Amino acid sequence: MHRIVSATVHPALRLILLALALCLSVTANAEEPDVRTTWRLLDYIAVDYASAVSEGRVADEFEYREMVEFSDVVARQIAALPDTKDNQALIRRSDQLRALIANKEPAERVGRLARALAASLLTAYPVPLAPSQAPDLDRARTLFAQNCASCHGAAGSAPPAAMQALDPPPIDFTDIDRARQRSAFGLYQVITQGLEGTSMASFASLSDEDRWALAFHAGSIAFEDVAKGERIWREDDGIRQLVPDLETLAALTPESLAEQIGEDRALAVMAYLRANPDAVGQANDAGSLAFVRDTLDRSLSAYRAGNREEARQLALSAYLDGFEPLEALLATRDGGLMREVEQALGQFRAGIESGANPSELQQLRARIDSLLARAEGALAPEAASEISTFLGAFTILLREGIEALLVVIAMIAFVKKSQRSEVLPYIHGGWIAALFAGVATWVVATYFVSISGASREMTEGIGALLAAVILVSVGIWMHGKSQAEEWRRYIQEKMGKALSRGSAWFLFGLAFVVVYREAFETILFYAALWNPQSSGIILAGALSAVALLALIAWAMLRYSRKLPITQFFRYSAILIAILAVILAGKGVGAFQEAGVLSATFIAGLPRLAELGFFPTVETIGAQLLTLLALIAGFRVSRSPSGPQPAAVEG
């Protein structure tokens, strides 16, 4: 159970909480509020005790007295609960908690027991600590006007003059300092039970859904920057993981979230989530086909309402946040279906960009739904098999590794045939550094910061285009050396000279860029595919791919030594030219999937992602331009005065 709890709580709120715990429940079912309140008290003890006691001594007398009072209330409330098979064990543990606090035991021990007792309490007496579904905020505003505005003012900020004379006066919901310390659950408790000693009456007569709706609305009044919060929420996977469900959101205070992500971002995110609690349910489905369906429906609705930019962003989110995390797994189960879904989602985005008729988008939406239904069957746990998992791990690494391997082996063979073995450490250093950088990227993305779907596509796109540009230059140069006379002249000019430091670092950079791009993409695929239950099979597939790649590398190096030098350069130039064209298509395709470039689809053409061929005007255009540049370069390089690249200059 994921929860984020404030380490400090306003003294007034503590007194309110204690009053809630001590007062009799006014609802028909008394047990549920008592269990909720008891759980909440345990949660506060687990977090706040550390500020009350330090090294066996009282650090804060007021805090410590509250810890003693809270533990007494917990013990009494647990003892008053209906008998169950677990009741006596709960009573013993609550008595143990009181004793630990009375003896000023270490915070770690008290916190561990308080959390364990809270978990056991909910197991023995399961009650909802959050709404069963996202509250209806439109209805909440009507309810607030009907039931709350007379005391708190229509906007929740200016109580009528007659109410200001009360002691204490009604809460000003725009008070940001107090709002930072309120959870929706705490507000729900007050709305349900009222507040003894104040003018706040119980609204237990309202339905549970209405009380939760009021709690979320009242808790949102102090926060304003909803647009900024929405942007942060959509872009940062890490924050979405901090608030995975409504139960976490209901228990969350802005102050505790600020401890995790910073004050400004926390207030903005809370503004968005309190005003749009349904976003949490969608985030919980992120990386799921349900999220894809829901987000596409919202996109279509926005498009029909004339909000094209919102529709575009939602359609992009349906792919990047919903479908892309599942691509690797679906590719191992049904690669053809994966490509169909990806292309259909791209066509949906393109339709929005081009201003298509809403009925056309509706038809495409229906087609996507049928594809997603097929994908659900392919992704179902029962559809998995050991052979499919093995082949998935095997083909992913083999496919991504082969592109990098071809370039690196060609570079190694080149420097050996040029008798420039002193530069080999630069090439090996480049690809080894790329592997470490790939692992480091995974560690950072997993444990420190979140890399969004758009960022992943941008990284892949930049790497692909950069490698394509470099490979065009290298391919043209190699083609120029495919004539025997040209090669002899080159050897006569360069033999005996040490390769310049700049040229060596050029080879290092080329090896790094090509391998890092493939390593980055491979790690993303494996992260999506990874399953602890299948870890042995996945590792077996990966190791098998590594063994085959090593065999291919050995064969290529051995065969290249037997090739006449001019044939070696001719074949290498052709191979590198093909890779450049493929990478140009992949780079532009990645930018399109990230939403940076528009996509103009051409009907009837297949999608061959492995060859970088996507049926769009932009990707085909990029590949044609790359091909024309290579053809022109090949022609120029065959002339005696053809260019000499920096990669091999002395």
Q: What is the pLDDT of residue 479?
A: 62
> At which of 379, 398, 426 does a domain end?
379
Q: Quick one: 625 and 576 in the same domain? A: yes
Q: Is the peptide bond before 168 cis (omega within 30 degrees of 0)?
A: yes
Mean pLDDT, all residues of the chain: 75
Predicted confidence band at 124 (pLDDT cuts at 50, 70, 90)? confident
- In terms of pLDDT, which residue wins out, 327 or 637? 327
- Pair 66, 18: CB distance under 8 Å: yes
Does residue 577 have a pLDDT over 70?
yes
- Pair 43, 5: CB distance under 8 Å: yes
- Within-domain flag for 484: yes
- Within-domain flag for 196: yes
- The span from the CA of 150 to the CA of 140, in Å, is 15
Name the helix (H) or strand (E) containing 630.
Answer: helix 617-637
Q: What is the pLDDT of residue 99?
A: 93
- In terms of pLDDT, which residue wins out, 172 or 428? 428
**Which of 95-109, 205-219, 237-251, 476-490 has the highest mean predicted lDDT (pLDDT)?**
95-109
- In terms of pLDDT, which residue wins out, 10 or 612? 612
| Rounded mean pLDDT, 505-517 | 79
Nearest one of 515, 46, 43 to 35, comparing CA atoms: 43
Q: What is the pLDDT of residue 385?
A: 60
Q: Quick one: 182 and 247 in the same domain? A: yes
Q: What is the pLDDT of residue 63?
A: 80
- Within-domain flag for 478: yes
Give the number of domains in the chain: 4
Predicted confidence band at 102 (pLDDT cuts at 50, 70, 90)? very high
Q: Quick one: 371 and 396 in the same domain? A: no
Domain that holds residue 302: 289-379
Q: Quick one: 414 and 350 in the same domain? A: no
SS in 3 state form for 346-399?
Answer: HHHHHHHHHCCCHHHHHHHHHHHHHHHHHHHHHHCHHHCCHHHHHHHHHHHHHH
Nearest one of 575, 621, 578 to 597, comparing CA atoms: 621
Query: Is pTM beyond 0.85 here?
Result: no
Q: Quick one: 211 and 322 in the same domain? A: no
Q: What is the pLDDT of residue 266?
A: 86
Q: Quick one: 71 and 90 in the same domain? A: yes
- Collapsed DSSP state (helix, strand, coil) of residue 608: strand
- Collapsed DSSP state (helix, strand, coil) of residue 221: coil
| Rounded mean pLDDT, 236-243 | 75
Q: What is the pLDDT of residue 231?
A: 78
Residues sharing a CB contact under 8 Å with residue 643, sequence separation 6 or more, in sequence order: 476, 477, 480, 636, 637
- The span from the CA of 124 to the CA of 77, in Å, is 14
Does residue 645 have a pLDDT over 70?
no
Q: Quick one: 265 and 301 in the same domain? A: no
Q: What is the pLDDT of residue 555?
A: 82
Q: Quick one: 269 and 300 in the same domain? A: no
- List C-alpha distances in Å: 47 to 110, 133, 253, 350: 9, 28, 13, 50
| Rounded mean pLDDT, 87-99 | 90
Comparing 53-67, 160-174, 322-336, 463-477, which segment has the lowest mean pLDDT?
160-174
Q: What is the pLDDT of residue 636?
A: 78
Q: Quick one: 470 and 516 in the same domain? A: yes
Burial of 382 (C-beta count, 10 Å sphere; 0-12/13-18/19+)? exposed
> At which of 357, 379, 401 does a domain end?
379
- The span from the CA of 191 to the CA of 630, in Å, is 72
Q: What share of the chain is helix, strand, coil (3-state, %, to 5)?
A: 75, 0, 25
Residues sharing a CB contact under 8 Å with residue 305, sequence separation 6 or more, in sequence order: none
- For the stretch 19-36, pLDDT in tens is 444 443 333 333 444 677
